[in-house]
Amino acid sequence: MNRPIGPLDLPDVADFESRFKNLAVVAFVVVIILVLRLFYLQVLEGETYYDLSIHNRIRLRYLMPLRGLILDRHGRMLVSNRPSFSVYVDMDYVRDQDRLANVLAGILGFTPEEITAQMKLGKKEAYSNRIRVKSDISWAELSLAETHRYEIPGLVIQAEPKRDYVYPGLASHVLGYLGEISKDELKQDSFSGTFVGEYIGKSGIEKAAESYLRGRKGGRHIEVDAAGRETTELTQVDALPGDNVYLSLDLELQRAIEEQLQDKAGAIVAMDPLTGEVLGMASSPGFDQNIFVQGITTETWKAIRDNRFNPLQNRAIQGQYPPGSIYKIVTALAALSEGVITPNTLLDCHGAYKLGNRTYHCWKTWGHGRVDLKKAITGSCDVFFYQVGQRLGVDVIARYAREFGLAEKTGIVLETEREGLIPTTGWKLRRFGIPWQKGETLSAAIGQSFNLVTPLQAAVLISTVANGGSVPVPGLIRRIETAQGRLVSSFEPVIRKTTSISAAHMDFVRNALEQVIRDPSGTGKKASVENLSVAGKTGTVQVVALKDPKRRMKTEDVPYEFRDHAWFVCFAPVENPKIALSILLEHGGHAGAVAGPLAKNILEAWLRINGLENQQEHFAGADIRFIE
């Protein structure tokens, strides 16, 4: 039975209206919040988020410049560049690191674990979130990487120029090598604009001319998709290549010099004695600079570092050795200038000289007899120079040595040059707190004792004698040009100072040095060259004292580290000097026997290179040209 609906059964209209109003308020508040948020994002922060979206879509890719070339004096290429490709991972777009690691491992010959570790610990570029996984990949690796590039987000293949040392190992210490820039170097103003991972000159000309060789970066603004893949190039600014550096080295002479140093430890410097230009400079053993181009491995670096012969040392400017008998040139000129002897002074040599309770021996055990200065230089008589040194005193000898540029850096552009040492009484007292002993002067007078010179300093010494008394600054760079051939800078010969020695005394010593080579009794006769007048001086440096100086052992019977060092300095032609040589062979043995023939071979090569081997008349009657 149906019952009529009463008033109490109708919906509560007032409650419904209340709920609707509350819902409307909530909806209104939400809309207001959305509008305000939209206003904030679109208006107040619109520009910021627009920039972020553009940054996420548009990327800057730097274009690395071609490094400047290094050429010899005739424009022959010594250091160039070659194309290469490197694999990077852009971490902003990597979604699946495991998959990427597996794919790259198959391409690059690494394990997935190595790739993952590289992505986590690798050095990020300062201007992006990219990490270099492998540089200078092979063509096979490049082909595989290109195949997968559009499948894997974050994979980037970058074209990059790499340094190419055209003749691996040739002039390695002069040219130098490249290495990755360090954190300390990045802070220096001179490397402004350089980023993490870039390679800069670490030694040699590569370092000395870094600011010229480096060039200037370019860049490309590109549009990328959500996976970081390039879709469109928007703008591009080309990189500017570095300047080209022309050296004073002669490629063919450099080769000839290095051939003479094969399997030997030592250094050779060839110099124009009039201008100071370095025609050739070699230090042995050397190294292949190309091993540094890809980034040297720990194992390779350890092998180089632990090599007992220290191949990274540039012995020509860093090796410091007692000069031995080549120092007698200084002692002779000092004695003539000070008037303690004349060219006609006669002194006796019976194979030994006694001072106090000690006996000082001559290299010629039975002695040279009664000799004057010319014969003493020709036969390298130690006893003669003991007596001359005693008359002069060590401080006077040192003063003249400094006139020839010894005990100070030569001024060559290469860094890490050592300055050597020329002792004085004051130096020893300061250094050891012990007064100078009279007997030490005798040793110093023949280039032993505390005396130390570099092969380059020895080249400057003999060049100064050759040109009549002007001390040249060794020059390595002739000129610098842009890639288009415009001259940037040229380098003229520089004379550092002029000695106080008279022309007459210089002439006398030059004549005596010629007899060292020409005379059958001369210690340097093995350096004699047909159709070329040569003046020079040998020097044999005792490394350890002999228990019995009268008992001479054959070089091959002496342990390597105890063998004498061998020096030879010379210049030619005597009438009009064009080339000066300084040769140092570590533990080479008797200088005249081992270093003299090397000088002969180099001089013959120089004649051949310049087409002068059959032109004796080319030098006949020429007048020596002194530098004022």
Active site residues: 325
Query: Which helix or strand (DSSP H or E) is residue 393 part of?
Result: none
**Could you report how far apart the first and last alpha carbons of the chain are, in Å?**
143
Distances 493 to 435, 475, 476 between C-alpha atoms, Å: 42, 7, 10
Asked if 289 and 168 touch (Cβ cutoff 8 Å), the reply is yes
Cα–Cα–Cα angle for 143, 146, 149, rounded to 5 degrees: 155
Residue 423 burial (CB < 10 Å; 0-12/13-18/19+)? buried
Distances 169 to 284, 285, 406 between C-alpha atoms, Å: 10, 9, 30
- 3-state class of 422 per DSSP? coil
Report the interhelical angle of 438-445 vs 382-392 (nearest 10°): 130
Asked if 135 and 86 touch (Cβ cutoff 8 Å), the reply is yes
Name the CA radius of gyration of the chain, rounded: 37
Two tokens, residue 214? 């480096």
Two tokens, residue 53? 């979206």
Two tokens, residue 77? 């290429």
Asked if 295 and 180 touch (Cβ cutoff 8 Å), the reply is yes
CA distance 350 to 356: 17
Asked if 384 and 347 touch (Cβ cutoff 8 Å), the reply is yes
Question: Dihedral sign, CA of 122, 127, 128, 134?
Answer: negative
Residue 478 burial (CB < 10 Å; 0-12/13-18/19+)? middle
CA distance 432 to 261: 37
Amino acid at 197: G
Two tokens, residue 203? 């030694």
User: Which residue in 238, 213, 215 sits closest to 79, CA to CA?
Assistant: 213
CA distance 345 to 335: 11
Distances 27 to 18, 22, 34, 343 between C-alpha atoms, Å: 14, 9, 10, 118
Asked if 352 and 327 touch (Cβ cutoff 8 Å), the reply is no
CA distance 471 to 492: 15
User: Which residue in 588, 219, 563, 522 sits closest to 364, CA to CA?
Assistant: 522
Asked if 361 and 368 touch (Cβ cutoff 8 Å), the reply is no
- 3-state class of 437 per DSSP? coil
Amino acid at 47: E
What percent helix, strand, coil does the chain show, rounded to 5? 40, 20, 40
Sheet strands (E) in 64-102: 70-71, 77-90
